[in-house]
Amino acid sequence: MIGFVFPGQGTVRVGMGAWLRRDPVGGAVVRRADELLPEPIGPLCARGPLPRLVDTAYAQPAVTACNLAALSVLRDRGHRPDVVAGHSVGELSALCAAGVLDIDTTIRLVGARSRLMAELAESGAMVSVLGLPVERVEHLTAQASAPGEPLVVGLENAADQIVVSGSVRAIDRFTTAATGEARKIVSLKVSNAFHSPLMVGAVDGWAEVVRATVVRPPEIPVIPNVTAEPTTDLPTIVDALIEQLTGRVRWARTMRVLSDVDHCVEVGDSKALTGMLRTEGVRCVSMSAPTSLRTLAETAGT
């Protein structure tokens, strides 16, 4: 049993997807993304500049183009998943892998998602908190929140790696309270507070786009971020995709579900999810290098 996992926005870097763009199958997907998006993403992945690439409007299409290129390469080599999950915006790629969306639709959706989120006023921030359990982080975020200054757990990446998301002032209060308890608190280089109530301004537009999109029942189970429960129920998947904009990414729970598979493949140019899964004892092969295909073939043969 094999799981495909798809990385999210935080994995972008200049030069990403280089070998995938050189591959005939992967390169065709990136060129298709260039045709469908308002601005070509391939040259930006290759050469930057980094400040533009990490901007939400471009980062989400960039990582999705690389994810879909890697997915197409895997399909071309005969690899198929039994279950899929995606981290944050990576969930769109996972839905493509499950047959809910085709490649063109996935590209168009990520273009709409990134635009809606990028158009919001830059009023929030995110910090990664290491060394505290989620229950303690939840308590501290509740204390730091105030009317008009929300703060929530945005992502549970691992048992002791939590991302807090919300108002800048609330994050300042949280940081003051958590310093000394947490092993480390790191500010993330993001333009806003993703997976928090500060994204609510994009929800109606996103819901309209998603519900107008032609979708198909999944061919295999999908693990949505906001539930971390495998499902093949299409209405549940669609609702979760909409809720994800403001909802929590429950990746730690997702990894526990994936612990039942024989191995996973991180489908994209990233090793972030591979590292997280290995801490949970899950074997994972990253598609970040062309040698991954040989490694995957050897792993699948064991």
Fold classification of 2-119+198-300 (topology level): Malonyl-Coenzyme A Acyl Carrier Protein; domain 2 (3.40.366)
The model's confidence at residue 302, banded by pLDDT at 50, 70 and 90, is: very low
Residue with tokens 């981290």: 87
Query: What CATH number has the domain spanning 124-190?
Result: 3.30.70.250
Q: Is 88 a catalytic residue?
A: yes
The model's confidence at residue 136, banded by pLDDT at 50, 70 and 90, is: very high
Q: What's residue 123's pLDDT?
A: 81
In the set 87, 93, 145, 195, the catalytic residue is 195
Q: What's residue 258's pLDDT?
A: 96
State the CB neighbour count (10 A cutoff) for residue 135: 9
Q: Is 87 a catalytic residue?
A: no
- For residue 238, what is the DSSP state? H
25-83 confidence digits (pLDDT tens): 999 999 999 999 999 999 999 999 999 999 999 999 999 999 999 999 999 999 999 99
The CA distance from 50 to 73, in Å, is: 26
Residue 280 has pLDDT above 80, yes or no: yes
Contact of 46 with 18, CB cutoff 8 Å:
yes
The model's confidence at residue 300, banded by pLDDT at 50, 70 and 90, is: low
Contact of 249 with 156, CB cutoff 8 Å:
yes
Contact of 82 with 3, CB cutoff 8 Å:
yes
166-180 confidence digits (pLDDT tens): 999 999 999 999 999
Q: What's residue 165's pLDDT?
A: 98
Which strand (E) or helix (H) includes residue 86? strand 83-86
- For residue 295, what is the DSSP state? H
Q: What's residue 161's pLDDT?
A: 94
The reported pTM is 0.95
67-123 confidence digits (pLDDT tens): 999 999 999 999 999 999 999 999 999 999 999 999 999 999 999 999 999 999 878
Q: What's residue 242's pLDDT?
A: 98
Q: What's phi and psi for 224, nearest 5 deg? A: -65, 150
Residue with tokens 């471009």: 58
Going 118 to 119 to 122 to 124, the CA torsion angle's sign is negative
In DSSP terms, which residues pair with 182 in a beta bridge? Answer: 179
User: Pairing relation of β-strands 2-6 and 284-286?
Assistant: unpaired
Helix, strand, coil content of the chain in percent (nearest 5): 50, 15, 35
In the set 72, 87, 88, 128, the catalytic residue is 88
- Domain range annotation of the chain: 2-119+198-300, 124-190
Look at the chain and count its residues: 302
